[in-house]
Amino acid sequence: MNYILFIVGLALLTFCADMLTRGCVGLAARFRVPEFIVGLTIMAIGTSMPELTVSFMSALKGSGEMAIGNVTGSNIFNILIILGICALLRPMDITRENIRRDMPICIGVSILLWLFTSDTLLGWGAENKIGRLEGVVFMLMYVAVIFYSIRTAKGEGEVSDDAPKMGVVKIVAFIILGLGGLIFSGNLCLESATAIARAWGVSEAIIAITIVAAGTSLPELASSVSALVSGKTSLALGNIIGSNIANILLILGTCSTITPLTLGDITQLDMLMVVGVAIILLISALVIGRRRITRLEGAAYIAIYVAYVIALMK
């Protein structure tokens, strides 16, 4: 039954992702907003709702390990698997603004997460713990990042004209129904996959970083692939980068403000992996692909993720 539920969840994800993409494209077209910003904000926050739900409930139950592992695992999965798959399907062009503004912000917040949990930030961070003070800092930074990104994006980027006749009511309906469907189907896949993993005897820490993280990232995967297939590269990229930023600043910020989160069996190596994949993305886009993520780089991303999971299992 769990295998059947997992397949049904994947089918629903595909349908709802297409609905969300159409709604976001219509929003960008009607209000003349760059598609990257729509992906960075509305789509990214919406598709991060499963991570927020799982992390929030885990925090309330006192399982900081599951909350943090879900976020760190999701960020690693987003870049290495989702961008890897997207690049294999179609090479992704990177704008100058992505390299100068968006990717450095993603790297910066990833480094801050590592510093806050390693007790290295001038003695501020609590070792193996994200406290309430760090949570407040995260949330304030998220507001600042969104404001800064929108302010500096005015007049730049791709503005879609593909859906100029879509009404506001239809746009809102597509976005709400698409997001709701993604969260429901993503949770369906998550629960069934987690049950399968537990039946195989996989530990909770590994489940958090791999199965749970991948499950809560399925909305990002579905919506990004759907956007890419529709030719909306900037929407897909904005979704991934925005989700990674939201996962750290918004989700961990909210959860740790309510109750401090302890790392448990989540190691500093996992935290450094979050920083590493963000740096890899910038280097590969800037140096290797020359403002493009190629199919070869996409394959390399996936290979790195497989090697990481294998290392976790040992």
Confidence bin at 273 (pLDDT 50/70/90): very high
Higher pLDDT, 72 or 218: 72
Confidence bin at 289 (pLDDT 50/70/90): low
The burial class, CB within 10 Å (0-12 / 13-18 / 19+), for 161 is: exposed
Is the torsion defined by CA of 140, 137, 149, 40 positive or negative? negative
Query: What confidence score (pLDDT) does residue 163 get?
Result: 46
Residue 165 has pLDDT above 70, yes or no: no
Domains and CATH numbers, the chain: 2-313 (1.20.1420.30)
Residue 165 and residue 184: Cα distance in Å, rounded?
29
| Mean of pLDDT over the chain | 81
User: What tens digit of pLDDT does each residue of 129-142 get?
Assistant: 788 889 999 999 99
Residue 125 and residue 198: Cα distance in Å, rounded?
33
Residue 155 and residue 265: Cα distance in Å, rounded?
46
Query: What confidence score (pLDDT) does residue 217 get?
Result: 81
Beta strands in 70-200 (DSSP E): 92-93, 129-130
Confidence bin at 205 (pLDDT 50/70/90): low
Residue 290 and residue 295: Cα distance in Å, rounded?
13
Count of all residues that appear for the chain in the document: 314
Residue 93 and residue 99: Cα distance in Å, rounded?
11
Task: Give the residue among 96, 110, 206, 105 at the shortest CA–CA distance from 149.
Answer: 105
Residue 278 and residue 103: Cα distance in Å, rounded?
7
Beta strands in 2-144 (DSSP E): 92-93, 129-130
Residue 146 has pLDDT above 70, yes or no: yes
Residue 108 has pLDDT above 50, yes or no: yes
Higher pLDDT, 39 or 169: 169
**Non-local CB neighbours of 230 within 8 Å, separated by 6+ positions:** 21, 25
Does the pTM surpass 0.85? The reply is no
Residue 244 has pLDDT above 60, yes or no: yes
User: What tens digit of pLDDT does each residue of 17-67 get?
Assistant: 678 777 877 777 777 777 778 778 877 877 777 777 777 777 777 777 778
